Structure 1
Amino acid sequence: MLTPTENAELFQIDNLQRAAFGYFLDHADPATGLIADTSLPGAPSSIAATGFGLSCYPIGVERGWTSRREASRRVLTVLRFLGESPQSRDQRASGYRGFYYHFLDMRTGERTWRSELSTVDTALLIAGCLTASAYFSGEDAVEGEIRSLAESLYARVDWRWALARSDTLTMGWRPPGRFLKHRWRGYSEALLLYVLALGATDHAIGPEHYDAFTEGYDWIPVDGEPHLHAAPLFIHLFPQAWLDLRAVGDRPMRERGTDYFANTRRAIALQRDHARRNSGRFAGYGEQLWGLSACHAPRGRLRLADGRWQRLFGYVNRGAPFGLDDGTLVPWAASACLPFDPEASRAALGHIKASYPGLLKEGRLPGGFNPSLAGDGPEGWIDERVVGLDQGLVVMMIENWRNGFVWELTRSLPAIRRGLERAEFEGGWLATETA
């Protein structure tokens, strides 16, 4: 039986998750179903945020925050729009070769902000489509169409084309016909991209391309153990919002006697240690206030509240160890890390609630804050944005911590198993659950 303190703590987490879920109800276009990148007025849709939203609707049904009928209607609206929106080299199209532009106009679905055709953001979108299709498994016409559309959207993505005559996947493409020079080589959120590209029934890439991806891994020693380094937290978290990698490892992980789940636990410990050491002497840092990742912040040389001058980096990937740090933290880190280190995450959530009450806006945590900068309260500078990606990660990871719900859905998808097995992942649920 839970103590009164534990009950209060769970109530707080429940409220945080419910408010984060509400983002996808409040910031979806009623005609297209596309999800806004941020809460700022006039923000375009992010296809990645839309993928997170598609994965969160089933959670809302299970929690009783929306009806199955309403959630399935929202999912179907998005999938129909994606299936019908233009795919061509035209700069105003929604996508090309089954991929989608990073940012789309909320109402028309046209490419906006001169954004790139994004391979990894398309993967996050497709992951959402497939997760929704796994949940809406009923025999009625609406749920049947959801599954059919999700399958066709996945089948349309030309993953092989995105290799662009090389051994690794390109980060993107711009019209009328130029691939980006940067590629997905080395540990990144593209782990999910490679699993989907390997698991596809159409246009799949080969295992040799995953090998080329992992050849770029950067291993560092941590307490005598090998650690796969990535400084920003989101790199560790995004793929595992969908992929259950507990005791599941590919060849590089197995050779070093570890797995991605354990690696993420080490990454969290490294961030906490960085905050505890606080070599930059930033306000608030400590074992109960940590979280460095990609986020917005002011830019330029600014005076901190303690009188020192500090260079602020604007929007960058912050991280630890060996990453950028200017005192700007992501307040959603603790809730998103609950499946990996519940004790540390719960302590951090309690500390944030007690010490930084001004962070919550309509119950939602902002994209970032910097308590070292002068502000109206101890929070210092607070990002005016609430970010769709952050809210989706909060909803999904809290649910995975509670009961592994999203992981259970994705484990049922043949594409996920096929992609992991073609990448030579072994162990965990792959060994105990039948195909």
Structure 2
Amino acid sequence: MNLKTLVVNINFVRVLFIVGLISFIGCSSPKLDDSQPPAEETKLSDDSLLTLVQKQTFQYFWEGAEDISGLARERIHIDGVYPQNDQDVITTGGSGFGIMTILVGIERGFITRSEGYNRLNRIVDYLAKADRFHGAWPHWLYGPTGKVKPFGERDNGGDLVETAFMAQALICVRQYFNEGNIEEQSLAKKADELWKGIDWNFYRNGEQNVLYWHWSPNYGWIMNFPIRGYDECLITYILAASSPTHGVPAAVYHEGWARNGAIKSSAEQYGYKVILAHNGHEGSVGPLFWSQYSYLALDPRGLKDQYADYWALNRNHALIDREYSIKNPKNFKGYGADTWGLTASYSVDGYSAHSPTNDLGVITPTAAISSIPYTPEYSMEVIRHLYYDFGDKLWGKYGFYDAFSETENWFPKRYLAIDQGTIPVMIENHRSGLLWNLFMSAPEIQSGLIKLGFTSMQHVLTANTEVAEAIQ
């Protein structure tokens, strides 16, 4: 071999070494937004992992949003198992969760404040033109037109509970932007007008002391569903009592929701007090979304009334669910201290509201993750287990997939807005209290809570005179 050939060969080896080194560095450095869990030796801190989960899930409501409205699609199927017929279907409640997620995205730097403002401004303009029924939006909207898409044959009008999930988000938007620049103040004003346009009093169905879930322009009150506690609907009564334009008297809460005190429970499970009778059942607890949906904005820390300590209620609910999964009376595969969480989600045979009394062997990641304010250490155990031990079987484009069953070896790559939406919000409430502080700072909410007999150790509740007079 001559000298020239030797030099060429040495240079070629050097090039191969440099290319290999670059490839190794690129592969071994974990990226925050990478959809693939990193290797064991590069595991993230709890704080970084929570940010990653928030950021990835945020994308469902940002990149995955419906094109015209900017609101949340009802569902997104990645696996293609079912035809994707819901590309244009907007879910009102899930979109409320998504609006709060956008506020999280601004605070965490996933998007700029300007980007968040632009999207939210588009959203409130769309909501103002969309179908409403005495101020209440339907469960579903058809994205391109803003017209109602029936949730069922007779469910083609106002859905007061879904509307409440939206209204709590609009109040948070107002509080977030009301001291901003001129454009932001205009956004806050539009959000305020939307929430104040909801006629809660109409949904008493003839001045009854209870709120009704549905009203249809074609079928009236035929759905006949009075909202009585306890379930996910507490926020509906808080908002109805707080409204300065269409408020309801306190008796609607005490007689309708609290059933004249029958809402209380003296039962215990696994040594934890149940506190409130879930859906009228004295000794059982419902799906975990009951301790999440109303508390995305309503701060349960130190929140009490004559019926419950709401922090203890929600914490005990999560602890009962976890303990049930550890005991695992039906011997489902995988259940345990790092794999718990029963709530409404996809199931092996369709959609189901999973709970200890309706256990189908399906774990729903959002259940334990969104319980993180109540059970931070236990929820982190679940997050780490699901992220590192299951990898891309459970983790994808928009964070953790909706549900899975190890017993059935069932790992569908599907997402639902209402399940994804609680994750970034409840993680943020655990980390900073962002949405809790925004909502609880609203003067009419403070007046409404006082009106219903609530106290809070976390927030000083002060009745605003004008608002208090308006809601009597």
Q: Same fold judged by TM-score > 0.5?
A: yes
Sort the Cα spacing of 1:226 and 1:30 in 2 relative to 1 into closer, same or farther, 3 A: closer
Sort the Cα spacing of 1:218 and 1:362 in 2 relative to 1 into closer, same or farther, 3 A: same
Aligned to 1:221: 268
Judge conservation of contact 1:186–1:218 (CA < 8 Å) in 2: no
Sort the Cα spacing of 1:84 and 1:318 in 2 relative to 1 into closer, same or farther, 3 A: same
State the alpha-carbon separation in 2 of the partners of residues 226 and 390 from structure 1.
24
Sort the Cα spacing of 1:224 and 1:368 in 2 relative to 1 into closer, same or farther, 3 A: closer
1:11 paired with 2:43, answer no
Judge conservation of contact 1:76–1:142 (CA < 8 Å) in 2: no
Amino acid at match of 2:275: H
Residue 432 of structure 1 and its aligned partner are, at CA, apart by: 7.1
Residue 163 of structure 1 and its aligned partner are, at CA, apart by: 0.9
Amino acid at match of 1:58: L
Sort the Cα spacing of 1:283 and 1:396 in 2 relative to 1 into closer, same or farther, 3 A: same
Q: Give the alignment partner of residue 152 of structure 1, picking from 193, 198, 203.
A: 193
Q: Percent identity?
A: 26
State the alpha-carbon separation in 1 of the partners of residues 166 and 192 from structure 2.
13
Aligned to 1:80: 125
For 1:176, what is the secondary structure of its paired residue? Answer: coil
Aligned to 1:383: 412
Aligned to 1:369: 404
Residue 419 of structure 1 and its aligned partner are, at CA, apart by: 2.1
1:407 paired with 2:463, answer no
1:248 paired with 2:293, answer no
Judge conservation of contact 1:73–1:142 (CA < 8 Å) in 2: no
TM-score by length of 2: 0.80
State the alpha-carbon separation in 2 of the partners of residues 6 and 340 from structure 1.
24
Residue 430 of structure 1 and its aligned partner are, at CA, apart by: 3.9
1:34 paired with 2:71, answer yes
State the alpha-carbon separation in 1 of the partners of residues 177 and 85 from structure 2.
31
Aligned to 1:302: none
Q: Give the alignment partner of residue 58 of structure 1, picking from 83, 103, 108.
A: 103
Amino acid at match of 1:344: Y
Residue 354 of structure 1 and its aligned partner are, at CA, apart by: 3.2
Residue 63 of structure 1 and its aligned partner are, at CA, apart by: 0.8
TM-score by length of 1: 0.87
State the alpha-carbon separation in 2 of the partners of residues 55 and 269 from structure 1.
26
Residue 204 of structure 1 and its aligned partner are, at CA, apart by: 0.5
Amino acid at match of 1:124: F
State the alpha-carbon separation in 2 of the partners of residues 294 and 432 from structure 1.
33
4+ runs deviating over 4 angstroms: 4-7, 432-435
Q: Give the alignment partner of residue 244 of structure 2, picking from 195, 201, 211.
A: 201
Amino acid at match of 2:359: D
RMSD between aligned residues: 2.0
For 1:78, what is the secondary structure of its paired residue? Answer: helix
State the alpha-carbon separation in 1 of the partners of residues 144 and 428 from structure 2.
30
State the alpha-carbon separation in 2 of the partners of residues 359 and 332 from structure 1.
12
Q: Give the alignment partner of residue 212 of structure 2, picking from 159, 170, 175.
A: 170
Residue 139 of structure 1 and its aligned partner are, at CA, apart by: 4.3
Residue 34 of structure 1 and its aligned partner are, at CA, apart by: 2.3
Residue 383 of structure 1 and its aligned partner are, at CA, apart by: 3.5
State the alpha-carbon separation in 1 of the partners of residues 44 and 394 from structure 2.
22
Amino acid at match of 1:99: A
Judge conservation of contact 1:250–1:424 (CA < 8 Å) in 2: yes
Judge conservation of contact 1:119–1:193 (CA < 8 Å) in 2: yes
Residue 69 of structure 1 and its aligned partner are, at CA, apart by: 0.9
Aligned to 1:136: 177
Judge conservation of contact 2:231–2:286 (CA < 8 Å) in 1: no
State the alpha-carbon separation in 2 of the partners of residues 242 and 372 from structure 1.
35
State the alpha-carbon separation in 1 of the partners of residues 213 and 456 from structure 2.
30
Bigger Cα Rg:
2
For 1:239, what is the secondary structure of its paired residue? Answer: helix
Sort the Cα spacing of 1:367 and 1:7 in 2 relative to 1 into closer, same or farther, 3 A: closer
Over residues 350-378 of structure 1, what are the superposed CA-to-partner deviations in whole Å (9 max), with x where a residue is unaligned? Answer: 222233221011251122111110xxxxx
Q: Give the alignment partner of residue 312 of structure 2, picking from 246, 262, 265.
A: 262
